[in-house]
Amino acid sequence: MSGSEKRRGRGSSAPVGKVAGDAKSGLRYSAPALEKGLDILEFLSERARSYSLAQLADEMGRTKGEIFRMLAVLEARGYVEREPETDYFQVTDKLLRIGLRRPKYRALTEIARPVMERFAADTRYPCHLAIASEEQIVVISRAESPDLVGVTVRVGYRQPLLETGSGRCILAYMQDGQREHMLTLLKRRAGNLDLAALEREREQIRRNGFILEASRIMEGVWDISCPIIGSGNEEFVAAITTPYVRLVINQMSKEEVASRLREAADEISARLGAA
């Protein structure tokens, strides 16, 4: 037994770490510096604009001195960056890239990439791959159209899950436990969620095998979304989506694009199952 173990003793009540006194947080231990850094990242990730040090301190109810060092470390480690023109801070996509290193997402993007690129080359329509992130969707990969005109979505793009074809497609194919958890999150945000309407939509989407509808975000654009079902130790659902607009240079109908996109989604799902 080491000296420290002898001093501590089996029956000693002395904590190894600092016990948090905030019962509301549900945390047993606290790490104030870490929590402060995470607060900054969460705040910036939920805002569409960048902030100066003074603005950030004011909005978060902190002093500039409290968060200055945190921002310096986060910037040095690549989690936040400054806009060259304004010196304002914004969050980077480093946390997203770290999350995508998880084996299931790495396998998904590696398997999906060549299928997505072939779809884009054959149909001349772009597509993107999205997963659920709490009550939002986040785009984790995309394939560009060879044409110079079209609608594309950048990697890291986020939107409320229920506002996108990708999100509602994912929700429709989630397992019951995952779906209930997601609905709890959505109710916490929205409050007056029409669960009966969502269940009817779920049944309709699963009957069709895809979503084809006018975009709720962009006028003149149709969302075409198909599910990708992962399998193995950690089953999950993703969605492959094409923002469809009818172009003079491309006369392929949205129904034909939907059919081709569903073939691509089925191929990706089959390859995930075989991996």
Residue 77 shares a structural domain with residue 109: no
Residues 152-167 have pLDDT tens digits of 888 888 888 999 999 9
Helices and strands in the chain: count of H runs, count of E runs: 10, 8
Least confident of 41-45, 65-69, 175-179, 249-253: 41-45
Has residue 58 been placed in a domain? Answer: yes
Both 40 and 162 in one domain: the answer is: no
Q: Give residue 275's pLDDT band: very low, low, confident or very high (50, 70, 90).
A: low
Quick check: helix, strand or coil at residue 100?
coil
Q: Are residues 64 and 188 in the same domain?
A: no
CA gap 148, 169 in Å, rounded: 28
This prediction's pTM: 0.68
Mean pLDDT of 146-150: 78
| Contact indicator for 230, 129 with CB cutoff of 8 Å | no
Top pLDDT among 103 and 21 is at: 103
DSSP class per residue in 238-263: EEEEEEE--BTTB---HHHHHHHHHH
Report the distance separating Cα 43 and Cα 87, nearest Å.
Answer: 18
Same domain, 33 and 75: yes
> Is the confidence at residue 85, as pLDDT, over 90?
no
Q: Which of residues 193 and 121 earns the better pLDDT score?
A: 121
Residues in a beta bridge with 250 = 247
pLDDT exceeds 70 at position 48: no
Give me the chain's average pLDDT, please.
82
Assess whether pLDDT exceeds 70 at residue 77: yes
Same domain, 66 and 184: no
Domain assignment present for residue 77? The answer is: yes
Give the domain-ending residue among 92, 120, 147: 92
Strand arrangement of the beta sheet that strand 222-229 belongs to: 158-160, 136-143, 127-133, 237-244, 222-229, 211-214
pLDDT at 179 over 70: yes
pLDDT(3) > 50: no
Is the domain of 133 the same as that of 250?
A: yes
Of 63, 92, 121, the one marking the end of a domain is: 92
Angle between helices 32-45 and 53-60 (to 10 degrees): 110
Top-confidence residue, 203 or 250:
203
List the structure tokens of 189.
């945000």
Do both 63 and 119 map to the same domain? no
Angular region, 116: left φ>0, alpha ψ -120 to 50, beta rest: alpha
pLDDT at residue 122 greater than cutoff 50: yes
Number of domains composing the chain: 2
Whether 88 and 105 share a structural domain: no
pLDDT tens across 123-145, in order? 999 999 999 887 889 898 999 98
- Assess if residue 10 is contained within a domain: no
**5 assigned to some structural domain:** no
pLDDT band at 213 (very low <50, low <70, confident <90, very high): very high
In this structure, are 225 and 131 located in the same domain? yes
Same-domain check for residues 60 and 182: no
One domain for residues 112 and 57? no
Residues 156 and 225 reside in one and the same domain: yes
Decide if 160 is inside a domain.
yes
CATH value at residue 39: 1.10.10.10
- The token duo for 107 is 């396998």
How many whole angstroms separate alpha carbon 111 and alpha carbon 65?
46
**Which range of residues forms the domain containing residue 243?**
98-274
Which of 158, 154, 174 lies closest to 227 in space, CA to CA? Answer: 174
